[in-house]
Amino acid sequence: MQRDWRVGDFAANTCRRCRKLVRTRFELRTVQLARTRLCVRDVLVDVCTECDHMVSIPPQSLPQLREAGLAK
């Protein structure tokens, strides 16, 4: 089982922009859903500490996105 992440936690993940393994930090961001214009505020996401790119959205944040209308 993967533990729940919290704001300020650090992890390691592969950043698509840096194209390497980077240190990432969990922050609350406004996420724009890919297929809609809907923006979801205060979503916990994994952010690259080198280029500030959003690397990933942890599974624990997905229900929040679904509720906002990602899934029908």
Q: Please pick, from the candidates 15, 31, 43, 47, the single residue that binds Zn ion as defined by CB under 5 A.
A: 15
Name the DSSP letter for residue 71. Answer: -
Judged by CB under 5 A, the residue of 4, 42, 50, 67 near Zn ion is: 50
Residues 24-43 that bind Zn ion (CB under 5 A): none
Q: Cα–Cα distances in Å, from 51 out to 22, 60, 64?
A: 10, 24, 25
SS3 41: strand
Residues touching Zn ion: how many (CB under 5 A)?
A: 7
Nearer to Zn ion, 40 or 55 (CB): 55
Sequence letter at residue 71:
A
In the list 7, 12, 38, 51, the residue contacting Zn ion (rule: CB under 5 A) is 51
